[in-house]
Amino acid sequence: MNTPFAGLWAVLLVGLPLLLAVGAYVAGRRIRPILVWIVPLVMAGMVTGLIHGLIDQGPLHYEIGGWTPPLGITWHIDGLATAMLAVTVLVMGAVCAYAPSYFAGSIKTASAEKTKLFWPLTYLLWAALNALFLSADVFNLYVTLELLTLGSVVLIVLAGTTDSVAAALRYLVLGLMASLFYLMGVALLYASYGTLDMATLGGQLQQDPLTWTAASLMIVGLLIKTALFPMHFWLPPAHAGAPAPVSALLSALVVKASFYLVLRLWFDLFRPVAPAPAAQFLGALGACAVLWGAIQALRADRLKTLIAYSTVAQLGYLFLLFPLSSAPAVAKTAWLGVILFALSHALAKAAMFLAAGRIQQLAHEDRLDRLTGIGQCAPLALSATALAGVSLIGLPPTGGFAGKWMLLVAGVESGQWWWALVVVMGGLLTAGYLFRFWAIAIAASEHPSQRAPVNWRMELPPFMLGVAAVLIVFLATHVAQLLEIGAAFPIGGSGEVAP
């Protein structure tokens, strides 16, 4: 359905952050208070209006400039896209509230000029994320991927350390290589079918070597950007070395964006032409990521490194969807479980990184052996890690529990019990490395830390994100109803929506 309503919200969701990126750079400190408090509320209002529009009218389409495919670019708005837009607003709002106090007190910020760059780059990142979630054109998706990569690289460098520069350069090289793979796949598709619109391509793809090559190039490029094992080696130094607000954005949103595109391409385009073992292969890589990332987190000697390797592990759960969705009877359960887990993970991991940034500022470092008793100094920040952690482990009643439970059910009911075993083992390993940190944080210290005054602007945002990661389980039914609006994936079939 193409409506003025759809076009208005789509344009504003992308255009407003772009304008703010320019305004934040030009106006500097004079406009920042307005950006921090008002913009997230405005964006939340627009996403809420978009959700109501979906419920009333169904899937929405907007043809940019009035040009129709194959010449024009179309934005497609459905339940999955709006779910990602909604979690983006929540994380961005928390980061915007947290960042001013963080940069004001950060000992690792090299200069005021670098701090000034954070706001325009963050709003550019926000615009790119929104455009990516709305786009239905494979080349337009390439443009948004490039904006995400370039913006993320510069944000990582804001830490001002040698390690962060090295991590950013590695991320840049791998990100550009991944984008090149994706672009070559796009070129092959256009040469074969003469269109870049996903809806048009979906009805034309044929099982031939050129299509398989294009699909392989595009999916591999996105897997590199998602940091799926064994292509994950760029993620831990990049996420651990970045400033805490940047780490939260990268882990919660940027890697989720590339995974979102894997879902779109696989189920909207390539699933009918993909070889049957390909889904099992992606599931196997996901299982390796769950186990390998968790083991590395257990061995980590720094808090942010531990959280970064946790991201590698948690991303692995998302790829269990591909083999589980091949069984029609449990496809709906697997889909809802993965999407709910992705949303709760975004909230929880942003909370973990923001809380870690506060702890690092108070302790002046993040080596685990130097954080003994830090919980006495920052109890609210530690509570935020606890709320986020129980969701990552999968303890009830949290969003992580609901997502993992549905994956367990899908694995058992489809007879693919080995994926269920991966979920259980991953949960136990997650508990291991998180309890390791918590034991250190609450242990008695020979030199007790004096309890610091609560910095509400730095400690309340991660705490609220942790609460949201827990409470999202009570919205599971609503998330399921939203995902069914315009679902291109196999939403039919049996299975419970929530445990």
pLDDT in tens, 189-244: 998 888 888 878 877 888 888 889 999 999 999 999 999 999 888 999 999 889 99
Encode pLDDT of 286-313 as tens digits: 999 999 999 999 999 999 999 999 999 9
Any domain includes 163: no
Encode pLDDT of 444-478 as tens digits: 666 555 566 767 888 999 999 999 999 999 988 88
Give me the percent of the chain exceeding a pLDDT of 90.
Answer: 52
Any domain includes 386: yes
Any domain includes 169: no
* pLDDT confidence of residue 144: 93
Q: What is the count of structural domains for the chain? A: 1
* pLDDT confidence of residue 352: 96
Any domain includes 397: yes
Residue 172 has pLDDT above 70, yes or no: yes
* pLDDT confidence of residue 451: 61
* pLDDT confidence of residue 109: 43
Any domain includes 195: no
Average pLDDT over residues 62-85: 77
Any domain includes 37: no
Any domain includes 34: no
Mean pLDDT score across all residues of the chain = 86
* pLDDT confidence of residue 68: 64
Average pLDDT over residues 338-362: 94
- The answer to whether residues 25 and 120 touch, using CB atoms and an 8 Å cutoff, is yes
- The answer to whether residues 239 and 311 touch, using CB atoms and an 8 Å cutoff, is yes
Any domain includes 340: yes
Neighbours of 180 (CB within 10 A): 13
Please tell me the pTM assigned to this model: 0.92
Domain that holds residue 433: 296-499
Identity at 26, one-letter amino acid code:
V
